[in-house]
Every structure is written in structure tokens, then in C-alpha cells.
Amino acid sequence: MQKLRYARSRSIITILIITLILCSCVQTLTEVSVPLPAVSGPVPTATSTGTPTDRIQIYFTDPTAVHATDYEGGPDEILVAALDQARLSIDVAAYSLNLWSIRDALINAHKRGVVLRMVMESDDMDNQEVQQIMDAGIPIIGDGQPGLMHNKFIVIDRLDVWTGSMNYTTSGVYKDNNNLIHIHSSQVAEDYSNEFNQIFTYHLFGPKKIAGTPGPKASMDGTPAEIYFSPEDKPVIRILELVQGAQESINFLAYSFTSNDIGDAMMERAKAGVVVAGVMDDGQEKSTKVTEYDPFKQAGLDVRLDGNLDGLMHDKVIIIDQKIVITGSYNFTAAAETTNDENLVIIFSPQVAAKYMQEFQRVYDQAQQP
């Protein structure tokens, strides 16, 4: 009887020891495997989507939204949430910045020990918000050259890239038509970090930059993408290849369009039966520069001037065959190809293209009738 009790006691003790060991292992695994926090939350004035991989998310500004005049509910709130979650580093390349939400998020990240570096267009560094960022101890390098430091991208923790056409300004987020794209990829982040280091660390801007993006071709869980920087990568070469390869449709949103090569390629595809439609900022008609608007209209293409009369149609997007999206800070101009610092993202995904087509249709429907 005593032996039986002793055996039962040993069994109970053994079970308890095994249970404690298992619990300890689970706790250890939980502590070691810490996923990056997800950026989520509703955006009343921004259309958002994730691809099937959820590694690409897209947001659009909406100047017609109810709270746009209050400077609330725009894509900047999503970007701020991402900045608030940064743990190691934030690199910012900004053409212009005056949004207090972005200013506060950057200063707060600096205060909690995140390593922050910024590059800006020199002509846009004298506003109050930029000075407050500098006063907080965050280093900002100006380009100091005739060409524009026209990038709008942020790299967080060398893992997340935020880019697109959206300037970090009140008008860029709440008055203009823009897109903001978030790519969760260490490979893409490496490309953008390499570009940032050229301009921040070595002060190489415009034509002085060294060609050689580490990994121009990337894949996000099977979604192919290509990354280009100008002027060193000569993005127009790839744009022309894709436009000339269009089989069914070319849709575009263009703030500035003075590239005859791209315009001519679109008109040639139209002659071959490809449906070409676009919306250009109404400033194109008033511009003293020779733009593509008149040639498009003379060729009978369905190209309209935008209806956002209080702001800019500031997007730079080409959608090919509703499965390829070209976007970024890159205007379709000679300066973007030769003197300005720009970035370009090409994504091969019908799902991403469908979302950009929805935005194209919205802007197209609001455009001025021919």
C-alpha cells in the first residue's frame, strides 16, 4: 500500500515537473518570436487595400472627404501609426514637410531613442515644422543643387518602405490627389536604404549618384516588383518597354507630363488598338512648357483635365493592361530623368492594379468634360 502511494506521488511530481518545463518553453518561444506590430485602423478619407500577401498596402487621398477641411482622417494618420511603432531607425527623404502630425511623430520617435536621419529639398527647409524637427536634434541634409530632391519616401527599421506621390504637407494629404504605398520587404528596404545613404552620407545628388540598386527586382510572397531611382537608373527605359508592350489598355494619372518619348509610345499603342485614357492636372493646359495634353487631344485620345480645382491632381501613375502599376515620385518629365532625385516602383499584380483602377475611375469621373 505504501509503495502504491509512493508510486502515485512520484507520478504526480513527474507530471508537475513536465508541465512546468513545457510552460517555460512556451514562454521562452513567445518572448523570442516577437513579430513586427501591424499598422491597422480605419481611415475615413483614405482608400486602403492589401494584396493577398498583405505585404503591399495602398492608400489614396480624398480632398472631397467630409473631414478633409479639418485636416483629419487622411493617410498621414496611417503613416504616423507606423512611425510610432518604429523601434530602431527612420530614414526620411522629403521634398516638402509641414504636417504637424508627421513632425510630432518624428520628434517623438527621436525622443524614445530611434535613430532618425532626414534629407530634404533645400528650398523647402525654412518652414516652421522643419525648423522644429531640427531644433529637436534630428539631422537634416539639404540637397543644395539646382535639381529637385523630389523623393517622398520613408524607411522604417530597414524593413518597411513608404513611398508614392504624397508630400508630407497639408495640401499633399488633404487638398491634392495622391497615392501612398507601403511595402513590407527587407529587400526593397535595402534598395531604398542604399539610395538614402548615397544622398545623406555621401551628399551625392542628381547626376552625381552612382548607379547600382542592390536588388532592383523583388518579390513579395510571389508578387513581383521593380525598384528604380533617377537619374542613375534611367527609369524611362523600363517605362517605355512596358508601355510599348501594352496589349489592351493604358490608364494614367499625371501631374506633369512633358516626356515626348512616353507620350509618343502611348500614341503609337493607341494606333495599334490599345485603349489609352488619362487625367492630367489642369495646370498642364496653362503651363508655358510644351506638354503632352494637346498632342493627346489632337490624336483623339480620351485624356481629361482634372476636376480638383482647389488642389492638384498630383499622382504619377501608369496602369498597363490592368495588371501592371507604375508609381512613385517620378513625374513623366525630362527633369525627372536627368536632374531630379526620384524613385519609381513597378508592381506586377492584377489585385494592386484593380485598386489603382478604382482610384483612376474616381478621378476620371470628377475630371472636366472635354
Question: Does residue 316 have an active-site annotation?
Answer: yes
Instruction: Please state, in angstroms and rounded to a whole number, the distance separating the CA atoms of residues 280 and 8.
Output: 83
Told to judge if 234 belongs to the known catalytic residues of this protein, a careful annotator would answer no
Q: Name the active-site residue from 84, 297, 321, 323.
A: 321
The one catalytic residue in 182, 209, 314, 355 is 314
Among 81, 79, 61, which residue's Cα sits nearest to residue 71?
61
Residue 211: closest CA among 223, 193, 198: 198
3-state secondary structure of 320: strand
Helix (H, G, I), strand (E, B) or coil at 329: coil
Contact partners, residue 199, CB within 8 Å, separation at least 6: 93, 119, 141, 143, 149, 205, 209, 341
Burial 97-115 (b: 16+ CB within 10 A, else e): bbbebbbbbbbebbeeebe
Nearest to 352 by CA among 215, 189, 221, 191: 221
Q: Are 84 and 105 in contact (CB under 8 A)?
A: yes
Rg for the chain, CA atoms, rounded: 25
Out of 150, 152, 182, 316, the active site residue is 316
Question: Could you tell me if 138 and 76 are in contact, meaning their C-beta atoms sit under 8 angstroms apart?
Answer: no
Most distant pair of Cα atoms in the chain: their distance: 105
C-alpha cell at 18: 513536465
Distance in angstroms (rounded) separating the CA atoms of residues 173 and 150:
16
209 annotated active-site: no
Q: Which residues are catalytic?
A: 314, 316, 321
